[in-house]
Amino acid sequence: MSLSPGVLLRQGFLALIALFLAAPLIVVVSVSFNATRRMSFPPTEFSLRWYRAFFSDYGWMASLERSLTIAGLAALVSVAVALPITYAIWRYQAKVAALLAGIGGALFLIPGVVAALMLSAFWGVTGHVGRLENVVLSHAIVLLGIPLSLLMVGFRTIDQAQVEAAYTMGARDSDAFRMVVRPAMTPYILCAFVFVFVLSINEYLIAYMVAGFTVQTLPIKIFANMRQGYEPTMCVAAVIFMAMGFSAFALMSKVADLPRLMGRTRPLED
Amino acid sequence: MAVVPAFLMVQLSLAHREVAGLWSPGFELTQYRQLATPLFARIMGFSLMLALAGALICVSLALPAAYFITRMRRRAQVAWLVFLLGSLSLSEVLIVFAFQVLLSTSGTLAGALTTVGLLAPGASLYPNFPAVLTCLVYLLLPYVILFFYPALSQLDPEVEQAAATMGASRLSTFTRVVLPMMRGQILTGVLLVVIFTFGAYLTPLVLGRPPQWTIAIHINNAAMGAGNLPLAAAYAVSVVAFMVALLVLTRVLSRRKASEA
């Protein structure tokens, strides 16, 4: 392709978008390597001291561990709920399952603060307040729309003819599941898990309103520190988030067909 | 598990408020009467204005960006998708924090603007309306680009080629062929931005001043600060009702547009 004005304009536009999206991240990453306590950009002197401070601080490590636990369990629960629902829709065209999926998808469209309020009222009424499992279940429910839609994409890629062939050759449901469905679905299940995990670990408002006083997750701790003023270890926490998010999705792109997962059905040549 | 909290919230909004954050079941409209004030109308109006401004910027940036991305080669597309998903998933806490660092008085941006003379020395770039709007656009842009991605990648390249053979320039192909096909998607994209903006809590709280506080902050203040759960629930029910109305409106609009086309 020659460098016509149109191409230049297009590349410039995309570069600006990328710069806009990257700018705050670049600032935070470079400030985290700064030697001084003051927030100054560009950094003056390279140092790892805030990383050492972060990893030897009991409070930060406890929050990190708590966040990882919540995210892991929430991802597990929401995938475990979404899998039978989507399987029933795909295999038996089950109406009930479709209704459940509809509710799960609708939840995703509720403004975050409203969902948070609903859930905190729910836990308040059940008298089960300020517990870790509240956050786990709340995240699993609110994020349910993600595994539902990703797994549906996955099931649609399975060739029905292949399943029929398995049945004609005398396979039972469990055999067909093991031989056709499971291998085809494994990358999608993995992606759904990673997606929910990453979103859960980053979520602030629901975690805060459901159990914020007793269960301090990493975002809650960052925000609490933010109100007390600037501290370089916060940047380190932020960098950890970014590293986790970007590597999770990079990994996902290796395991699965990312364009297809994001809704492209038209084939894409290399 | 999903439906119960929703019913509970409606019930709560009708409940009787007692002292110290407690409430007893009941059926009264006290909370809703409290909402019928100019203040509530002003908050809703501001939230909607912020949302529509954000939607306008997001959609007009996201649409061409998504269009270009869908026409890239596979490797470049995957790289963009990873980048967008990565920044999409970043916590609002982090983004707000990063913006705070970026916009702070000691930051480079403020320094550069002061040197050029666009900013008075020592002045801060936040809290104010542009800061809130920029941060919201930042949070929503990857979301909206990814929302447009499936539909744009589904567009048949042959249609565009046909337009090109008939002598249409790239720009007019985009505005005359691609945009009309995307009408319904664009309206839904606007709705997404509106929903998110109404739910946004941290951005206006940290980067804005009280006049820029959206409905989400008032819900949270009522629930966590004042301990008035019924009032918070009444706010929330009104917001959801408003969202449903918008959803119906976009459905009607996109259907009418489709039948015209």
- C-alpha A150/C-alpha A79 separation (Å) is 10
Among candidates B205, B204, B69, B217, which has minimal Cα distance to B144? B69
Return the higher-pLDDT residue of B27 and B9.
B9
pLDDT score recorded for residue B58: 92
Going by the DSSP 8-state scheme, the letter that residue B212 receives in this structure is G
Cβ distance B223 to A117 less than 8 Å, yes or no, reads: yes
B27: buried, middle or exposed (CB in 10 Å: 19+, 13-18, 0-12)?
A: exposed
Report the residue from B82, B101, B196 with minimal CB separation from A249. Answer: B82
Q: Assess if residue A269 is contained within a domain.
A: no
Q: Which residue of B has its CA nearest to A263?
A: B150
Among candidates B95, B177, B175, B171, which has minimal Cα distance to B138? B95
Residues with Cβ within 8 Å of residue A11, at least 6 apart in sequence: none
Cβ distance A259 to B3 less than 8 Å, yes or no, reads: no
| A188 min Cα distance to partner chain B (Å) | 16
Q: Assess if residue A186 is contained within a domain.
A: yes
pLDDT score recorded for residue B137: 92
Any bridge partners for residue A34, and if so which? A46
| A38 min Cα distance to partner chain B (Å) | 9
A168 and A219 housed in the same domain: yes
Q: Assess if residue B16 is contained within a domain.
A: no
CB B82 within 8 A of CB A246: yes
pLDDT at residue B172 greater than cutoff 90:
no
pLDDT score recorded for residue A177: 75
pLDDT band of residue A79 (cuts 50, 70, 90) is very high
Cβ distance B2 to A141 less than 8 Å, yes or no, reads: yes
pLDDT at residue B106 greater than cutoff 50:
yes
pLDDT band of residue B20 (cuts 50, 70, 90) is very low
Torsion A113-A116-A122-A123 (CA) sign: negative
pLDDT score recorded for residue B57: 93
pLDDT at residue A64 greater than cutoff 60:
yes
pLDDT score recorded for residue A77: 93
Domain count, chain A: 2
Residues of A in contact with B81 (CB under 8 A): 249, 253, 258-259, 262
Q: Assess if residue B177 is contained within a domain.
A: yes
A171 and A229 housed in the same domain: yes
Helices assigned H by DSSP within chain A: 5-32, 49-55, 58-92, 95-107, 112-126, 132-142, 145-157, 160-168, 173-176, 182-202, 205-211, 218-228, 232-255, 258-261
Q: Which residue of A has its CA nearest to B62?
A: A17
- C-alpha B85/C-alpha B69 separation (Å) is 14
Q: A108-122, A222-236, B131-145: which has the minimum mean pLDDT? A: A108-122
**Roughly how many angstroms between the first and final C-alpha of chain A, as a whole number?**
17
A14 and A102 housed in the same domain: no
* Structure ipTM: 0.79
Q: Assess if residue B232 is contained within a domain.
A: yes
Q: Assess if residue A141 is contained within a domain.
A: yes
- What beta strand segments (E) does B25-70 contain? none
Going by the DSSP 8-state scheme, the letter that residue A44 receives in this structure is S
A245 and A162 housed in the same domain: yes
pLDDT score recorded for residue B233: 80
A1 and A82 housed in the same domain: no
User: pLDDT exceeding 90 applies to what percent of chain A?
Assistant: 6
If phi > 0 it is left, if psi is from -120 to 50 it is alpha, else beta; for residue B23 that is beta
| B158 min Cα distance to partner chain A (Å) | 13
User: pLDDT exceeding 90 applies to what percent of chain B?
Assistant: 5
pLDDT score recorded for residue A137: 87
Return the higher-pLDDT residue of A125 and A17.
A17
pLDDT score recorded for residue B260: 57
Q: Assess if residue B22 is contained within a domain.
A: no
Specify the 3-state DSSP secondary structure of B69: helix
- For the CA atoms of A248, B93, B97, B193, the dihedral, rounded to the nearest 10 degrees, stands at 90
Q: Assess if residue B5 is contained within a domain.
A: no
A116 and A234 housed in the same domain: yes
Average per-residue pLDDT for chain A: 81
Domain count, chain B: 1
Cβ distance B142 to A21 less than 8 Å, yes or no, reads: yes
pLDDT score recorded for residue B188: 82
Among candidates B207, B193, B201, B204, which has minimal Cα distance to B99? B207
| Domain with B103 in it | 27-260
A41 and A158 housed in the same domain: no
Q: Assess if residue A165 is contained within a domain.
A: yes
Residue B104's domain is classified under what CATH number?
Answer: 1.10.3720.10
pLDDT band of residue A72 (cuts 50, 70, 90) is very high
- C-alpha A180/C-alpha A163 separation (Å) is 7
Q: Assess if residue B244 is contained within a domain.
A: yes
Among candidates A158, A180, A157, A154, which has minimal Cα distance to A167? A180
Q: Assess if residue B13 is contained within a domain.
A: no
- C-alpha B121/C-alpha B230 separation (Å) is 46
| Domain with A84 in it | 58-261
A109 and A142 housed in the same domain: yes
Average pLDDT over residues A238-243: 86
